[in-house]
Amino acid sequence: MKGRVFSGARPTGRQHLGNYLGAVQNYVALQEGYETIYCVVDLHALTTLTGTELLVQNTFDMVLDWLAAGMDPKRSIIFVQSHVPAVSELHVILSMMTPMSWLTRVTTFKEKVQQQPENVNYLLLGYPVLMTADITLYKADTVPVGEDQLPHLELAREVVRRFNNRFGPVLVEPQAKLTEFPRVLGLDGVQKMSKSLDNHIELAADPETTSKRVMQMVTDVSRVYRRDPGHPEVCNVFSLHKQFSPDEAEAIAADCRAAALGCVECKRRLAASLNAWLAPFRERRARFEADPDYVWDVLADGAKRAAAIAYPNLEEIKRAVGLPVSRVLA
């Protein structure tokens, strides 16, 4: 039997190379060989947002990028988390199976408290429980995530084990599946690529903007003069060459080490290969963008298919817990 993949992403709008290499590329590849479910986790987003006015637009923009990158609504269920409210119910049930102490020790929670001391809200703590509800509602066994999500996955597994010990083997224990490209650095070559740090390269940007961003990238910092030999293995520009200029990468590395290739020219070449690689993506994206109804229909259809899996599972879980299941539903 095919495994079932579930992954979620907060609606952050237009996606960047870090999102693509760290997540979306993998989502697309997993459509081969798995049943795949991809979710825009709008409820999770509420835990960190100060304003919600961009939520709808950001959902649309992210899904556009997903579709343009090759996510196929015929093969994958693509939907918005809040469109299948069963997840909120399951979250409530699982929250009572989760000791507080498990949540307060989660490293990402502690980081969030540091990052937003003025907004330490209730669901910031419950965040991984809602995530556990996402995954278990669909009985997914495989969860593609970045390294930063591993503590959440570990918590999910503990909650599942605890639940199953008490109520029988109802929930499926999920496995994390790390991407091959787990950490994509930003233009600074130090911090993770992220929109909030403004060190990112957008997939949907025009070719000029893309080139400009690439030319701002920090290369091997130990290479001070043009005549100094470079170290491609520690250079962020080279790590992208490996991805986007695979045929040239070996020659680029050799020329860099021999100081035959300077950093400026090296970046010019990266901009060229990146723009060539992005051209068909931009074309597909423009076609979807011109037809917003199509995108929202994809999400409506996704929610319908997701609900068809979610509600029977929720009923089974409620029965296992011992809740009096409604006759109206039975």
Q: Which residues are catalytic?
A: 112, 192, 195
Which residues in the 95-124 window bind ligand TRP by CB under 6 A? none
Candidates 21, 80, 90, 143: give the one binding ligand TRP (CB under 6 A).
143
Q: What is the CA radius of gyration of the chain?
A: 22
- The DSSP line for 69-112 is TT--TTTEEEEEGGGSTHHHHHHHHHHTTS-HHHHHT-HHHHHH
Pick from 149, 199, 210, 239 the residue near ligand TRP by CB under 6 A: 149
Q: Identify each DSSP E strand in the chain by its residue range.
A: 3-9, 34-40, 76-80, 142-145, 175-178
- Distance CA(289)–CA(286), nearest Å, equals 5
Q: Which residues contact 290 (CB under 8 A, 6 or more apart)?
A: none
For residues 144 and 22, is the Cβ–Cβ distance under 8 A? no
Span from 129-137, 180-188, 193-201, 306-314 in contact with ligand TRP (CB under 6 A): 129-137
135 interacts with ligand TRP by CB under 6 A: yes
Told to check if 125 binds ligand TRP by CB under 6 A, we report no
311: left (phi over 0), alpha (psi -120 to 50) or beta: alpha
Longest dimension (CA), the chain: 79
Q: Decide if residue 220 touches ligand TRP (CB under 6 A).
A: no
Asked if residue 126 binds ligand TRP (CB under 6 A), the reply is: no
Q: Which of 35, 134, 141, 202 binds ligand TRP (CB under 6 A)?
A: 134
Question: What are the φ/ψ torsions at residue 132 (nearest 5 degrees)?
Answer: -65, -40
- Least Å distance, CB 52 to ligand TRP, is 17
- List the one residue from 131, 160, 204, 310 that touches ligand TRP (CB under 6 A): 131
Residue 84, token pair as written in the block = 């299948």
Residue 8 lies near ligand TRP (rule: CB under 6 A):
yes
Shorter beta-carbon distance to ligand TRP: residue 9 or 21: 9
Residue 6 within binding range of ligand TRP, rule CB under 6 A? yes
Closer residue to ligand TRP (CB): 173 or 289? 173
Interface segment toward ligand TRP; rule CB under 6 A; list 72-80, 109-117, 141-149, 159-167: 141-149
| Least CB distance to ligand TRP at residue 322 (A) | 26
Compute how many residues bind ligand TRP; rule: CB under 6 A.
14
Select from 40, 69, 80, 145 the one that contacts ligand TRP (CB under 6 A): 145
Q: Quick one: angle between helices 292-321 and 86-95, nearest 10?
A: 40
Sheet holding 3-9, edge to edge: 76-80, 34-40, 3-9, 142-145, 175-178
Interacting residues with ligand TRP (CB under 6 A): 6-10, 41, 44, 131, 134-135, 143, 145, 149, 152
